[in-house]
Amino acid sequence: MANILIIDDEKSIRKTLSEILGYEGYKIDEAADGAEGFKMFQAKTYDAVLCDIKMPKMDGLEFLEKSKEINPDIPVIIISGHGNIDTAVEAVKKGAYDYISKPPDLNRLLITLRNAMDKTSLVKETRTLRKKVAKTQEMIGNSAPILKIKETIEKVAATDARVLVTGENGVGKELVARWLHQQSHRASGPIVEVNCAAIPGELIESELFGHEKGSFTSAVKQRIGKFEQANGGTLFLDEIGDMSHDAQAKVLRALQEGRITRVGGDKEIAVDVRVVAATNKDLLKEVEEKNFRLDLYHRLSVILIHVPSLNERRDDIPLLVDHFLDSVCKEYGIAKKTIEPAAMKALQEHNWTGNIRELRNVVERLVILSGKTIVPEDVEDYVIPARDKKKVNA
């Protein structure tokens, strides 16, 4: 049921509007002036506001301005008397959805309200869709290894099997984890990422399992850890090879029992989490060198997905270049630049570090420094580092 806020200093108007809209099934709150209305607006998310112009304390225009600062998506419909149509028009210019004149015409009021709310729900829907699209970035590539990865993701996503993603830095391991999550039955749940290498050893346990207030000096508040945050979803443990021995033991226990205990707590908390881990290290070598527990390795690596570096899937480079050309030019608000086949070939044959971020940076550099069409000389000038050129010339 939609919530409407009516702000008008004339009690009779509030009563009439409230009765009409209540009869139509809306839930109504009333305020007698702009200041009171604004307080209510701050405390609750309304679907629409009907607001008079001339009121004591805070008038309609001021309310409009302040409400837009807090939540610009909520439509404000101005109710205007005979004497202030001009102000009502000004209000529309300043962001009011529309205005209706007093005495309100019943049909016009209902239609305006319905249209305003339709627009809000469209705005909201677009925003969630945009977010979704942004989250599940496309996995570009048609090379044999990428097709194989996509196929594995499809097969594995439906299960709760743990997945270990391996590959060099920046080859797209996180992207694989996000795709797994997106295609699984957990997609409506959260995906929570922990970069195990970025968290100091003494904090990792509290980061993963949370802590109770006072459990250590800086634990001034109770804190929920990543395992609990990921409940019902996926926990992505990035750089798992860098996790301390103590933390490994606790993660192992959490995986075996499906339960965790917060640092300094004694309660066991059940968690329903699918774990996807990633590493750029050779974990079996780490096991040999006693840096990583073999039992944890076995728990994590039911399914193995190896993401090859760029040099091992050169077929994908033209697709990736085109994809980044598109996104970089959009970002800069310019028409998409083209690239000569010979320049593309030079990029395809370039010796990449493997990190896809490097390729994106190169495309961005070419977009900034080249003309409308990227030619082989641009690649030579802006991509091949001076040291390699010396080698070529020598």
Ligand X SMILES: Nc1ncnc2c1ncn2[C@@H]1O[C@H](COP(=O)(O)OP(=O)(O)OP(=O)(O)O)[C@@H](O)[C@H]1O
| Interaction mask 244-283, ligand X, x per CB under 6 A | ------------------------------------x---
- Angle between the 60-70 and 34-43 helix axes, to the nearest 10 degrees? 20
Q: For ligand X, what does the binding mask look like between residues 339 and 368, x meaning CB under 6 A?
A: -----------------xx-----------
* Residue among 52 and 239 whose Cβ is closer to ligand X: 239
- Contacting range for ligand X; rule: CB under 6 A; set: 46-54, 156-164, 167-175, 252-260: 167-175
Identify which of residues 3 and 143 has a Cβ nearer to ligand X in the complex.
143
Total residues interacting with ligand X, rule: CB under 6 A: 16
Question: Of 173 and 293, which CB lies nearer to ligand X in the complex structure?
Answer: 173
75 binds ligand X, rule: CB under 6 A: no
Q: Which of 20, 28, 140, 187 binds ligand X (CB under 6 A)?
A: 140
**Contact letters (x/-) for ligand X, 279-318, by CB under 6 A?**
-x--------------------------------------
Among the listed ranges 57-65, 169-177, 262-270, 382-390, the one in contact with ligand X (CB under 6 A) is: 169-177
Considering the complex, state which of residue 60 and residue 167 has its C-beta at the smaller distance from ligand X: 167
Q: According to CB under 6 A, which one of 31, 74, 171, 263 is a site residue for ligand X?
A: 171
Q: Does 242 bind ligand X (CB under 6 A)?
A: no
Smallest distance from ligand X to CB 43, Å: 40
Residues 155-158: contacts with CB within 8 Å, 24+ apart? 156/180, 156/303, 157/183, 157/184, 158/183, 158/184, 158/185
Tokens representing residue 135 in the block? 């989250």
Residues near ligand X, by CB under 6 A:
137, 139-141, 167, 169-175, 238, 280, 356-357
